[in-house]
């Protein structure tokens, strides 16, 4: 086993990204840092380094325990890295899940059925008692 590995291969092999090309793109787009420095896909990593990966809205941090370039089974992941992500990041992730359609990016298409029902329930005039007033006037 080598004591160094390319960062794009390691991110893919450690199952942090689904494909190596996605891992390389993340490196190129400054979403992967080591010690606060952006890294290129060809950067070599060593055991003990902490890799930070931005997957909006969260920044995950992983301490490298083993350098690998071949993908391993999910059961072996605890031997490859230790997740040292700040608990506040997980709170941020949970808040974004709860908020749901509120953070919807402009131009991402039509709302899903669930989001549409939530919008309808939010804007429904019956919630504000408008229907009752109209019936009383008649």
- Where along the chain do its domains lie? 4-107
**54-103 pLDDT tens trace:** 988 889 999 999 999 999 999 999 999 999 998 888 888 887 777 665 55
Answer yes or no: is pLDDT of 106 > 90: no
The model carries a pTM of 0.68
Q: Nearest-CA neighbor of 101 among 84, 118, 85?
A: 118
Q: Write down the pLDDT at residue 3.
A: 84
Of 3.10.290.10, 3.30.70.270, 3.40.50.300, 3.30.1060.10, the CATH number of 4-107 is 3.10.290.10
Report which DSSP code applies to 75. G
Dihedral (CA of 11, 13, 16, 18) sign: positive
* Average pLDDT score, the chain: 84
Query: Checking phi first, is residue 50 left (phi over 0); if not, alpha (psi -120 to 50) or beta?
Result: beta
Using CB atoms within 10 A of its CB, is residue 132 exposed (0-12), middle (13-18) or buried (19+)? exposed
């Amino acid at each position: 086993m080598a004591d160094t590995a390319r960062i794009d291969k390691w991110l893919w092999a450690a199952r942090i990204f689904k494909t190596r090309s996605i891992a390389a793109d993340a490196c190129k787009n400054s979403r992967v840092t080591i010690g606060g420095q952006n890294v290129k896909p060809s950067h070599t990593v060593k055991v003990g380094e902490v890799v930070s990966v931005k997957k909006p809205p969260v920044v995950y941090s992983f301490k490298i325990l083993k350098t690998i370039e071949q993908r391993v089974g999910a059961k072996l992941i605890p031997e490859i890295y230790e997740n040292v992500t700040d608990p506040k990041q997980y709170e941020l992730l949970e808040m974004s899940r709860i908020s749901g359609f509120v953070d919807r990016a402009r131009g991402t298409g039509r709302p899903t059925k669930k989001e549409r029902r939530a919008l309808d329930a939010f804007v429904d005039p019956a919630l504000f008692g408008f229907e009752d007033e109209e019936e009383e006037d008649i």
